[in-house]
């Protein structure tokens, strides 16, 4: 029986701008952040039911300023209360990977994989952020990415499918490429291009040639797909 996961939900009542990319603190911001009350901030983000956006920002500033990156192990629990910060926090995690201990990295990977596979609904921007993390060095979880791919619904959004395939392209082996190739007929144009690219890159000539030859006939009206088959063709025809 799977572990029940708290479902991230959009928190109403906050209309401020939430960053999606982490930027390094300035010297002035670092100095100010070092004066923050660590105990009070951790209490607010850890115990209150509804986390305030400024508390999340101060949590990030505090751990960055003091280089206490293992505090990021608390991030999944905080993001359950304020999921809009997911892309921002994940971007920070990826950029500070080398400063996070292996134990905390493993815990983050498990937590976000659990969110990805067990949540009933996640907005596209959160899906994309977690997929990005689970394909990043230090957090790669091919099994979870393949599980999500197998269960991907057609209404999940074309961008999600494209990002997922691009993430898998970094880690797939032959058997997984053959499995993904079977999805081609149901894929949209962007996903088809990603699958063509994957097959072209990972399978041997003998394995990919017949399939690519057949696909090329049906993709003749897609210049982007043709570019994958014959990247020099356009230059030759000029």
pLDDT in tens, 154-175: 656 668 888 999 999 999 999 9
H helices present in 18-171, as ranges: 27-33, 38-47, 53-65, 75-81, 86-95, 102-118, 124-133, 142-150, 158-169
Residue 4 pLDDT grade (very low, low, confident, very high; cuts 50, 70, 90):
very low
Q: Do 73 and 146 lie in a common domain? A: yes
**Structural domain boundaries, residue 215:** 172-238
> How many domains does the chain contain in total?
2
Is 112 in the same domain as 36?
A: yes
pLDDT at 13 over 90: no
Q: For the residues 22-28, what does the mean pLDDT come to?
A: 95
For the entire predicted model, the pTM comes to 0.84
Q: What confidence tens digit (pLDDT) does each residue in 105-139 have?
A: 999 999 999 999 998 888 999 999 999 999 999 99
Q: Do 107 and 202 lie in a common domain?
A: no
Q: Is position 3 within any domain?
A: no
Residue 50: its pLDDT value, please?
Answer: 83
Q: Is residue 13 part of a domain?
A: no
40 and 138, same domain (yes or no): yes
* Residues 132 and 184 both lie in one domain: no
Do both 182 and 108 map to the same domain?
no
Could you tell me if 65 and 107 lie in one domain?
yes
Query: Quick one: pLDDT at residue 11?
Result: 41
The predicted model gives 8-21 an average pLDDT of: 60
Q: Based on the fold, state whether residues 122 and 212 are members of the same structural domain.
A: no
Any domain includes 182 = yes
pLDDT above 90 as % of the chain = 63
* 159 domain residue, yes or no: no
The residue with greater pLDDT, 193 or 14, is: 193
CA–CA distance, 30 with 71 (Å, rounded to integer):
17
What pLDDT sits at residue 32?
96
Residue entry with tokens 């209490």: 43
Q: Is residue 162 part of a domain?
A: no
> Is residue 148 located within the same domain as residue 177?
no
Do 67 and 147 sit in the same domain of this protein? yes
State which of 152, 183, 210 marks the end of a domain: 152
**φ and ψ of 109, to 5 deg:** -60, -45
Residue ending a domain, choose from 123, 152, 181 = 152
Contact 58, 90 (CB under 8 A): no
Mean predicted confidence (pLDDT) in 45-61: 91
230 pLDDT band, cuts 50/70/90, is: low
Is 160 a member of any domain? no
Boundary of a domain, candidates 87, 118, 152: 152
9 belongs to a structural domain? no
């Amino acid at each position: 029986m799977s572990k029940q996961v708290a479902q991230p939900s959009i928190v109403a009542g906050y209309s401020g701008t939430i960053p999606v990319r982490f930027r390094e603190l300035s010297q002035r911001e670092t100095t100010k952040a070092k004066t923050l009350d660590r105990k009070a901030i951790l209490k607010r983000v850890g115990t209150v039911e509804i986390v305030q956006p400024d508390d999340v920002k101060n949590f990030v500033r505090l751990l960055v300023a003091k280089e206490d990156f293992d505090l990021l192990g608390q991030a999944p629990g905080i993001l359950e209360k304020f999921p809009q910060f997911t892309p921002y926090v994940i971007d920070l995690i990826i950029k500070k990977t080398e400063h996070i201990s292996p134990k905390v990295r493993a815990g983050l990977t498990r937590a976000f994989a659990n969110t990805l596979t067990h949540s009933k609904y996640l907005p596209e921007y959160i899906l994309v952020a977690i997929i990005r993390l689970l394909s990043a060095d230090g957090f790669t979880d091919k099994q979870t990415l393949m599980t999500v791919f197998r269960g991907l619904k057609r209404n999940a959004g074309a961008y999600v499918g494209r990002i997922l395939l691009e993430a898998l392209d970094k880690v797939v082996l032959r058997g997984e490429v053959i499995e993904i190739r079977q999805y081609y007929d149901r894929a949209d144009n962007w996903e088809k291009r990603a699958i063509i690219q994957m097959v072209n890159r990972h399978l041997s000539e003998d394995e990919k040639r017949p399939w690519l030859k057949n696909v090329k006939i049906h993709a003749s009206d897609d210049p982007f797909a043709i570019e994958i088959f014959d990247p020099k063709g356009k230059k030759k025809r000029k």
